[in-house]
A and B are shown apart, each in its own frame.
Chain A
Amino acid sequence: MRGFTPVAVTALAVGSMVALTACSAGGGEAGATSGEATSAGGTETSAETSAAAASGTVTWWGWTPDTPVAEKYIAAFNEVYPDITIQYTNYENADYAPTMSTAFQTGQGPDIFDVSAGGNVGGKQLWGDYAMDLTPVAQAELGDGWKDMFATGYVDQLSVGDKVVALPLGGVAAGFFWIDKDLFDKYGVPTELKTYADLKKACDTFQSNGVQCFTMGTNSTDTFSTELLRTITNSIEPDYYMAALHGDRSWDDPVMVQALDMMRQMQDDGIIGQDATSIKQYPESNNNFLSQKAAIVQMGTWYAQYAAKESMLNSMEGAGVSNPVPFTMMPMVSPDFAGKGNIPQYVGEADYGIAINQNTKNLEAAKTFVMWLTATKEGQQDVANAIDLVPGLVGVEADWNNLGLVSPDIQIPAFKKLFADAAAAKESRNLYISAETGNAQVIAVQQALADRSVSSQDIAKQAEADSVDLPAQ
């Protein structure tokens, strides 16, 4: 057998490199061209594809929902469209951006993916460039006035300019707390904590019984820890935070300084755990609550999904509980931290939507799934029943009596009120927060809790210096 000659091997290598370079250099242009053609094609042929005779495999990446919830959506979808396979991959919040970024650079992005209205995980400003405009698709499927079919503002919140980046799956709200009612009842703690003194007293009781009162994790770049900061500022002066987001107030305002001081006070009083700077909200704080080591956690409406027996048992096992017994978790309105009579209101908006990769090769199947999940009553009913989101489609409500809640008698009315209040939230949660501003506040919270050698004034000044206002939307 004749061996390869050096010249042949060299030619092969050089040829490969040229080919690789050509792919690499031309990929971007080709992709862009392809994307433009796809968008244009979508406009022209959307009527033809409204019936979307689709089959094939669609890859879906997201940081939410949890995989079991997504599997329920997909199973329900496959009852209607058995020829379309949806492959869902769930990423931790911190892993979503690196994975997406790398995948899109190499042309290996998913067919469809999560996009949020703001924030530093899946914000539309980060991923909107890779998404196709869904306006013609929605218009063809739903007709004129299609935006009105969704909750007020949801579509616009997931748009960049005139481009609809994603169709909303549902909404979210935060600014309140979740409590383990079983622990509250066990130790005789009232489930309504209206003042800071009430909260302190409750925490003293839990502490004396060996239970952590409030679990919170700040050791991450995600912005969960800033929810408490915002809740406190809203109790000091309700309009301050939004005014600061719009550039009308500064982040080193006395309100911010007072809020940082209050967080320090909460730590000194044993309300915020000493471990707050060494753990993350996910998984540690989440696990602390679900394993009943802690009685209170601050999460948003998405946390309601764990109130159902089945998902709670799965989550408790995931949190390390060997023989889990479901407990009753309830939402609790925030105490009036500052004692000024201001009860912090819910802040909310469209949580996330599903975008379609402008370079997808499975466009019809992708469109079919996205439209079914976001814009049909059947799909949205599944979303509602997962109680992970406030349904995006108007007129859809969870089938409360058949969700398998642990204590339906008390949870159903509480959850109905929670979701109604969430849908009516007037203040946005992440929409106007740039990634830099969110990160600056994460650092401020970390420093306030972990470094007493720096004053709250100086921390707030640094937050102001590091923040970047988003352009007007």
Chain B
Amino acid sequence: MTTSTATASDSPLKPAARSRSGGGARTGHRHRTPSGLGWILPGFVFVFGLIYFSIGYSGYISLLPWDWRPPRPASVVGLDSYVRAFHSALFWTSLRHTLVFFVAAFVVQTTMGIVFAAILHSRVYASTFFKVVIFVPVVIAPAIMAPVHRRVFAVDGPINWILQHLGLLRVDATGNRIWTEWVGWLLSHVGLGSLTPNWIQPATALWVIIAVQIWSSIGMAFILFYASMGQIDPEIIQAARIDGAGNVRTLVSVVVPNLRPTILSLAILNAITALKLFDYPYLITAGGPAHSSEFLGTYIYAELFGVSQHFGYAAALSILLLFLALGVSIIMSLSARESRPGRRIAREWRA
């Protein structure tokens, strides 16, 4: 690059020197600080008191015996609950489900969100109607939709009804639904021979939750991408057109790279959603059958309220979840900073 000979002071990337104004400014600054601090303090104390005290208290409870519960006397035993978590197959299963959920939901939401946004940025008839249709699931509470989804995926529900009328499954003499011969043959040859048309079973329950979550949140991805696409300079698109790029090439090579910040934001949102996922798994599958759709959220809830009230263990799981969320946020934030165009250009310039 020719810029390799340029001096740093010539670089437009170099931040402007800070103004070092005189004592008047400093005096003004000193004068404003106590006043601003005073107004911030109540909120700070409130937030610190409620949130951080709760976190700290959870940390304390996590050091008590794993099966401790109030009002029994408490005595600190150390990190037993954490050791127990790391030795728990269910803890790792929950994490694996979280990871699968994140990857699947993120990929599908990003792809579909971009496609929907691109389509609705073109001249589509009744586009407002379609925008509403896509976005409505976002504003419906999971508690309202969960019974509907339970019905949709029921053995005698609409999905199996459709499959039955497509000739993919049939009802046998005992009333059970079974795959038609060629579907059964196909499934057995891809290692899914034990799969039955019962969607709430260990092999498929996780995917039911993923599908429902995608359905309910794809509108948010769509809105983010739709808004982000609106910020792209039309001249860039025109230039691509003049260079002969078709719709797909323009979308892939011009539009999508400009959506990078939005994609990163969506990744962070999805990671947070995956880590704290609770409502749909709890309401649709209760984390089952046999823990096949267990997530950290449902696992913590089950330990705290569901069966035995293991407060110490549940608190340890909560603290682990906190560190996981912090770690993911930090990694993604660093990735986002590294991916900023300015930093990229600066890195290239330094090279």
Q: A interface vs B, CB < 8 Å?
A: 5-7, 9-10, 12-14, 17, 20-21, 28, 31-32, 94, 97-98, 101, 104-105, 120, 126, 129-130, 203-204, 207, 212-213, 218-221, 267-270, 273-275, 277-280, 434-436, 438-439, 443, 446-447, 449-453
Contacts and interface: CB of A to CB of B under 8 A. Distances in A.
A6 B70 contact: no
Count class of interface residues, chain B:
35 or more
Contacts, number: 140
Can you list the 3 inter-chain pairs with the closest CB atoms, starting with the nearest? A270-B174, A6-B38, A278-B200
A278 B45 contact: no
Interface in B172-223: 172-177, 194, 196, 198-203
A353 B158 CA distance: 44
Contacts of B53: 21
20 contacts: A5-B38, A9-B42, A17-B49, A97-B305, A120-B306, A129-B71, A129-B72, A204-B174, A268-B174, A269-B174, A270-B175, A277-B289, A436-B307, A439-B306, A439-B308, A450-B198, A450-B201, A450-B290, A451-B289, A452-B194
B41 interface: yes
Given A120-B307, A439-B308, A450-B292, 9 more contacts: A10-B45, A13-B42, A97-B306, A219-B286, A219-B288, A268-B176, A270-B173, A277-B198, A278-B153
Chain B binding site: helix, strand, loop or mixed by DSSP? Answer: loop
Nearest to A439: B307
A451 B202 contact: yes
B174 A443 contact: no
Nearest to B74: A28
B46 interface: yes
A274 B308 CA distance: 30
Interface in B287-332: 288-292, 301-302, 304-309
B260 interface: no
Contacts of A9: 38-39, 41-42
B153 to A, nearest CB: 7
A367 to B, nearest CB: 22
B48 to A, nearest CB: 9
Contacts of A277: 198, 200-201, 288-289
A274 B35 contact: no
Given A98-B305, A270-B175, A452-B194, A10 B289 contact: no
B131 interface: no
Nearest to B196: A274
Contacts of B200: 219, 277-278, 450
Given A20-B49, A120-B308, A277-B289, A10 B42 contact: yes
A275 B49 contact: no
A447 B41 CA distance: 54
Nearest to A434: B308
Interface in B122-168: 150, 153-156
Contact of B176 (A274, A278, A435): A274
A103 B200 CA distance: 33
Contacts of B62: none
Given A219-B200, A451-B289, A212 B154 contact: no
A13 B45 contact: yes
Contacts of A32: 71
Given A21-B49, A270-B175, A270-B176, A221 B70 contact: no
B41 A453 contact: no
Contacts of A12: 42
Interface string B34-61: 0100110110011001000100000000
Nearest to A277: B289
A23 to B, nearest CB: 12
